[in-house]
Chain A
Amino acid sequence: MIEFRNASKSYDDGTLAVSDLDLTAASHEITVLVGSSGCGKTTMLRMVNRLVTPTSGQVLIDDVDVADRNPVELRRSIGYVMQNSGLLPHRTTVDNIATVPVLRGTSVRDARKHALELMEIVGLDRSMARRYPWQLSGGQQQRVGVARGLAADPNILLMDEPFGAVDPIVRADLQRELLRLQAELGKTILFVTHDIAEAIALGDKIVILMKGGRIAQQGSPAEIMASPKDDFVTSFLGLDGARSLHVDGHLVVDPSGRPVGRLA
């Protein structure tokens, strides 16, 4: 379980990235932080593995303040997947995946063996093992990124817009894969995105953020969709626009009368 207690982050120039955040991300669930740019969602994520230190307040993992943990040890125990994969360009796929286990003292041979297994788990062909990141497509790079995040078998996975830079078809594919993986592995995942559709598709719990790092509303996708708290949430969800659907005979249509689906 990840818990933010009155966590704030302000910068020297006075910008308030996160203000007074109280938030709990339950174990074995996907919690999605969603908001437009400048809402502090990445900053929140980076507080968990101490890449960012809160100006005030605490972040706790299983009731232990992360500030009391050695940052290097802490980071090695948490998986991290980022937008542009952040793969090391001078290392092959298999060595990129093996990075954290090797840092933690696993022999290179064992770590590579395990990396090959992970490649299969994330849907990468073994023939990619000896390729360098620039020889892979964007979607493949992100799969390597996910495999790398999972390599040390962490309880927690932090994902910072991991599918933001790939095309919509690949993104949908990666989202399905993530849900399949999660059903098997049951990690505690904190997922950041600016795409509300992605948040609805993946989140057990969604946290909608406003500028300055305040929570507009949080809850399950169904709860939020059923009763949006205010106009901001309504418009963020698109309930006053594209997602304002009604039934016309057997068809479900959008506000302009175009069909988007059919009642089953």
Chain B
Amino acid sequence: MSYLVAALQWLSDPANMSGPNGWQARMAEHLWYTAVATVVACVIGIPLGYAVGHAHRFRTVIVSSTGAARALPTLGVVTLFGLLLGIGLDAPMLAFVLLALPSVLAGAYAGVEGAPRDSVDAARAMGMTEWQILTRVEAPLGMPLLLGGVRSAVLQVLATATLAAYVGAGGLGRFLFLGLKTQNYPMMVASSLVVMGLAIVLDLAFEVVDRLVRRSVPAGAPAS
């Protein structure tokens, strides 16, 4: 309990709060890493997932490769890329994208693949082009699942982005690694608290978006 109080004191100390090394700046950095990694993962994962889901092909490739990617220990990947690419943001960013990709890919793929066959068949029979089937039928119906994938990707990266500091980049991990070296445990607890707070806020934000999407896509009562 005393650590928790000390951590809160640490957080409320103006000296720790502002400035380039303050926790607010580090928090912004942390969010920025998370956003970049998620956006890159979406840019790669959504088109790929949509293509596979629409074509109903190469399913096993996706399932097995996302499974394998999920099994990768992120710390190991950060270290490996760090050795290859050197100190800086490149290595952890690559690892975060790799971490986010499976969830996004699976969400995009599963949403499109799971669109009711009858509806897709009818859309084609009415004279929609393949592109129209994807954009007007499969993608809207798959939106809740895609959103779920992005949501878990964001939370995973947010939690793991502390590792960026391991190879010299910024983010809230700075305080964790610094605190570990200097035995400043209140500082470690404080940075963990900020990460947790961010996770809760972002998860709630996704919950709100999810409800809005489900309201605009009331695809046949209870969505699985």
List CB contacts (< 8 Å) of A64-98 with chain B.
72-77, 80, 82, 84-90
Are B122 and A72 touching (Cβ within 8 A)? no
- Residue tally, chain A, CB below 8 Å to B: 26
Closest A residue to B130 by beta carbon equals A72
Q: In the bound complex, do residue A86 and residue B122 qualify as a contact, i.e. CB atoms below 8 Å apart?
A: yes
Q: Give the number of residues in B that approach A within 8 Å (Cβ atoms).
A: 22
How many contacts A-B (CB < 8 Å)? Answer: 67
A133 at the interface (CB under 8 A from B): yes
Give chain B's interface residues, CB within 8 Å of chain A: 116, 118-119, 121-129, 132, 137, 140-141, 216-221
Which A residue sits closest to B217, measured CB to CB?
A90
In contact, A89 and B219 (Cβ under 8 angstroms): yes
Q: Which B residues touch A148, using CB under 8 A?
A: 126
B124 in contact with A88 (CB, 8 Å)? no
Q: Which residues of B contact A80 (CB under 8 A)?
A: 122, 125-126
Decide yes or no whether A201 CB sits under 8 A from chain B.
no
A51 to B124, CA, bound (A): 8
Cα–Cα distance between A158 and B122 once the two chains are bound (Å): 12
How many Å from the CB of A144 to the closest CB on chain B?
A: 11
Q: A80-B122, A86-B123 are in contact. List 18 more A-B contacts (CB 8 A).
A: A51-B121, A51-B125, A74-B127, A75-B127, A77-B127, A80-B126, A82-B121, A84-B118, A88-B122, A89-B116, A90-B140, A90-B216, A90-B218, A103-B127, A103-B128, A132-B218, A132-B220, A134-B220
A31 at the B interface (CB under 8 A): no
Most buried by A among B118, B123, B125, B129: B125
A49 at the interface (CB under 8 A from B): yes
